[in-house]
A and B are shown apart, each in its own frame.
Chain A
């Protein structure tokens, strides 16, 4: 298994509070991703990073911010959590060759409940 950990694994928080989720990798991969998984929606991309301090928005980025100060860590922050952000959050990592070929490997997920 790819060396990806996510913390915390479970969190319950109140509406309006800030929340930060951490993804840590030991593979030294350049690319890192945050997805959310909701019933009936599959997984949707929130943000991704293509290097230290280099990030970009995904399909469902509103209400989320990210930071990557080191290769191994990619943080997802909910500045003011809302009930609609109750979800399971997955981190993924990848490397690509010159043809753009490569696969993404996923972490174990963080279950976030906003009450």
Chain B
């Protein structure tokens, strides 16, 4: 069975500083990987996705993520965070079929002024 681990429940970053959110997955073959963001009281918005090819993928809002097969990781990065980036971030994995996504438990990002 596939699984996703987000080791950090909470992360606090100063505005303007760089950000890295960690995600580790467990899946037997090449996975499809996703990062979603959820603002308070809102639904989930897709930030970026990885299917194959270039292991560094660009997403919306200035986010990027790097797929590292050897480490089973798909970490999310942003060079300079803004106060509006404060939200809950979820990493998710899916196999090649039409099954649903398996989500990590999320990382709550707090931005300090």
Query: How far is B96's CA from A35's CA once the two chains are assembled, in angstroms?
Result: 19
A106 in the interface, Cβ–Cβ < 8 Å? yes
- A99 CB → nearest B CB, Å: 8
Given A43-B90, A100-B32, A103-B49; A108-B100 close (CB under 8 Å): no
A31 in the interface, Cβ–Cβ < 8 Å? yes
Given A101-B51, A103-B46, A108-B42; A40-B105 close (CB under 8 Å): yes
Query: How far is B90's CA from A92's CA once the two chains are assembled, in angstroms?
Result: 15
Query: How far is B46's CA from A59's CA once the two chains are assembled, in angstroms?
Result: 22
Contact A109 B99 (CB under 8 A): no
Q: B residues within 8 A CB of A99? A: 51, 96
Q: B residues within 8 A CB of A107? A: 43
B56 in the interface, Cβ–Cβ < 8 Å? no
- B91 CB → nearest A CB, Å: 9
Contact B98 A43 (CB under 8 A): no
Given A42-B106, A48-B98; A105-B51 close (CB under 8 Å): no
Q: Which residues of A pack against B, CB within 8 Å?
A: 31, 33, 35, 40-45, 48, 50, 58-59, 90, 92, 94, 96, 99-101, 103-109
Q: Which residues of B pack against A, CB within 8 Å?
A: 4, 32, 34, 36, 42-46, 49, 51, 90, 92, 95-106
Q: In the A-B complex, list the 9 residue pairs whose CB atoms are closest, starting with the nearest.
A: A45-B100, A42-B103, A100-B96, A106-B44, A42-B105, A43-B103, A106-B43, A101-B51, A108-B43
